[in-house]
Amino acid sequence: MWPRWGVGEWWRSVTIAGAVVAGTSFFSANHVSAQPLTDVPPADVDVPVYGWRETWAGVDVAHDQWLFYSGLTVAPASRDIYSDGWRLRIGGGYGQYGYDGLAPRQPCGDATKNDRCTETDRPTQHYKVSRAYAELLLGYYLRLGALTAKAFAGASLSDERHLVVDPQNDDDGTYVGAKGVLELWLNLNEQTWTSLDLSYATARDETSARWRAGWRIEPQLSIGPELRYDKNIETADGEWNGRAGLFVRYEWTGGEVSLAGGWSGRIEDWKAPDMSPYGTLNVLFQF
């Protein structure tokens, strides 16, 4: 899983997720998949047991914006969530953002006297926008030595509404389109790893990328930097929304929790005059 910066243009795309998780309870715990006997470890070997379903939820907060999201991935034909095979992912979320703009123009001027309206006395107004999104994706999980790759494609829906009408913004409405996702994870050695998540959705012309580099200070605890790039239909040419921060990630057999924070802002000509802090909390479970 898609928020906006500056005038509020950010939303998390790459592992986006949603309140639709509850609708997936039909995947029962009695899932069984055929596996060759060579995949079964000896009885005296203690190996981790992973589930074939993975669910996550999180919250993202920044200046004048917030987002709740959740989702579910299932491996219907694999032994567990870490085995090669097909994946089905559903997700979605809801949030709000705000921005400042010119207030609606009041009646002014007198055409009979050639009295023109001007913008000098036009006040500014703070606008609030709500947004909900959902997606249904089919993908494949593949492990190639130290590299793990996940690729997804499917449909996405995005609905955006101004809580206070902005006459200069006509992007409100429900958009439906295609979406593609690529997620890469590379273990550099026993102590370090790096990841790259990429996504693109046609619904609002949204492009997103996030890079992380982790250092395992303990076998289950990683810390490191993260960078993010976002651009959508409301971002002007030559501009994008960027983030730079740090994260901490704790993992255990069957789950993980990660916390990230740093600075975000709109980038124009590699300059970011209006920066603000952000924070993200994400929890994931396998069962």
Q: Which two tokens stand for residue 220?
A: 């289950």
Mean pLDDT, to the nearest integer, of 262-280? Answer: 90
For residue range 172-220, what is the model confidence (pLDDT) as tens digits? 889 999 999 999 999 999 999 999 999 999 999 999 999 999 999 999 9
* pLDDT-derived band at 233, boundaries 50, 70, 90: confident
**By residue range, what is the domain housing residue 57?**
19-25+52-102+121-286
Q: Is 211 a member of any domain?
A: yes
Closest CA to 132 of 164, 174, 99, 90: 174
pLDDT digits (tens, 9 = 90+) for 57-109: 999 999 999 999 999 999 999 999 999 999 999 999 999 998 877 776 666 65
**Residue 278 in this model has a pLDDT that exceeds 80:** yes
Kindly state the tokens that stand for 105. 């123009």
Q: Which residue has the higher pLDDT, 275 or 86?
A: 86
Instruction: Look up the CATH number of the domain holding residue 157.
Output: 2.40.160.40
Q: What are phi and psi of 97, to 5 degrees?
A: -145, 165
Q: What percent of the chain has pLDDT over 90?
A: 60
Burial of 61 from C-beta contacts in 10 A (0-12 / 13-18 / 19+): middle
Contacts of 153 (CB under 8 A, 6+ apart): 137, 138, 139, 178, 179, 180, 181
Question: Is 33 contained in some domain?
Answer: no
Give me the helices (H) in 148-238, please.
none
Beta bridge partners of 184: 149, 196
Question: What is the average pLDDT value for the chain, to the nearest integer?
Answer: 82
pLDDT at residue number 118: 60
Kindly state whether residue 245 falls inside one of the protein's structural domains: yes
Cβ atoms of 57 and 19 within 8 Å: the answer is: no
Residues with Cβ < 8 Å from 184, sequence gap 6 or more? 147, 148, 149, 150, 195, 196, 197
Q: Is residue 170 part of a domain?
A: yes
pLDDT at 231 (0 to 100): 93
Is 178 inside a domain boundary?
yes
Mean pLDDT, residues 13-22 taken together: 38
Asked if residue 168 belongs to a domain, the reply is: yes
Cβ(198)–Cβ(206) below 8 Å: no
Gap between the Cα atoms of 4 and 83, Å rounded: 35
Does the residue 232 lie in any domain?
Answer: yes
- CA of residue 14 relative to chain centroid, distance: 5
Tell whether 35 is covered by a domain. Answer: no
Q: How many domains does the chain have?
A: 1
Percent of the chain whose pLDDT exceeds 70: 77
Largest distance between two CA atoms of the chain:
96
The residues, any chain, with a CB within 8 Å of residue 254's CB and separated by 6 or more, are: 50, 51, 285, 286, 287
Higher-confidence position of 245 and 168: 245
